[in-house]
Structure 1
Amino acid sequence: MNQSLYDAVFCVDVGGQKIDPFAAATIDFGKVIGDMKLGGYEITSLHVAEFIVLHWLDDIRKNKTQLIHDTMDMDNRDDFCRQKYGLSWKDIDALDPTSDFEFDLKSGQVILFLAHDAQYKEDAYMKMFGQELNRFCQETGFLYTKLGEAI
């Protein structure tokens, strides 16, 4: 994609200044666009952001599912989870990243946040996936807002 087409599709004009929501992304943007084209997605800023976020949330869900599966038959699974993750097995099982997280595109910036109904799970998410969230935000340039404060 040439630069002028990229700017026309993705950049947002905010107060006379062009803002690129993917400027800080260190991910393989060409691969993302290629995968979206293969899937028949319309290429817009919102759809690209959604595609990136949903792939990350699916990876988090897979990690959680694997942990639940690995500890399912343990007699001491609750103790194991508390010692290793600081959460009970039931608290971990209650996490549902694909429906708990939401995102929006505001003023040329992609913002992640927990859905209103899931905000009480924020501490659990930070304990389980805080490092992955920070890494994701660094790789994409997206912001996560934690009850009013951005990280």
Structure 2
Amino acid sequence: MNQSLYNAVFCVGEQKIDPFAAAKIDFDRVIGDMRLGGYEITSLNVAEFIVLHWLDDMRKKKNDIIDATSGVDNRDAYCLEKFGISFKDIDALEPTTDIEWDLKSGQVLLFLGSEVQYKEDAYMKMFGEDLQKFCQDTGFIYTKLGEAI
């Protein structure tokens, strides 16, 4: 990473902020996977790699639900009963494009893009527990309509 960019993102006064200080993840595995993929090892790339893997896991969970309900007569009723949202709402969730992230004041922030804020309730019903665990494990912060969780 460019040193001046690093200093702008991760320094406050004379102190450096570690965006991964609260992370309880296997960095050896993350770095190993990044090296295998040919990624440059920078704080920005590590954060992106962690977020993208998590978003991919969310997408897989959604696809598993779609596959599991393919033979169900009334998908909407089944999904409403089991997940609290309709099949149509589940199908409309696109974690890899709807959820965005940014670095601000040395923190990794996750949030829904402005054009998909209306999906927030569906995301919380489907992935709220996963999101909370991810934030606990990584120290990243999800901001929900202006409030951090």
Q: Distance in 2 between matches of 1:137 and 1:45?
A: 17
Q: How does 1:113-124 map to 2 (within 5 A)?
A: 113-124=111-122
Cα displacement (A) at 1:73:
2.0
Deviations 1:66-91 (A, max 9, x none): 10111022112111100111111000
Does the alignment pair 1:50 with 2:48? yes
Q: How does 1:135-150 map to 2 (within 5 A)?
A: 135-150=133-148
Q: Match for 1:28 among 18, 26, 29?
A: 26
Q: Which residue of 1 aligns with 2:125?
A: 127
Q: Which residue of 2 aligns with 1:83?
A: 81
Q: Distance in 2 between matches of 1:46 and 1:18?
A: 15
Q: Match for 2:93 among 79, 92, 95?
A: 95
TM-score normalized by the length of structure 1: 0.91
Superposition RMSD in Å: 1.5
Instruction: Read off the aligned partner of 2:115 and give its amino acid letter.
Output: D
Deviations 1:37-86 (A, max 9, x none): 11110111111111000000101100100101110221121111001111
| Greater Cα shift, 37-46 or 136-145 | 37-46
Q: Which residue of 2 aligns with 1:111?
A: 109
Structure 2: stretches of 5+ with no match in the other structure = 1-5
Aligned length: 143
TM-score normalized by the length of structure 2: 0.92
Misfit runs of 4+, over 3 Å: none
Q: Distance in 2 between matches of 1:126 and 1:96?
A: 13
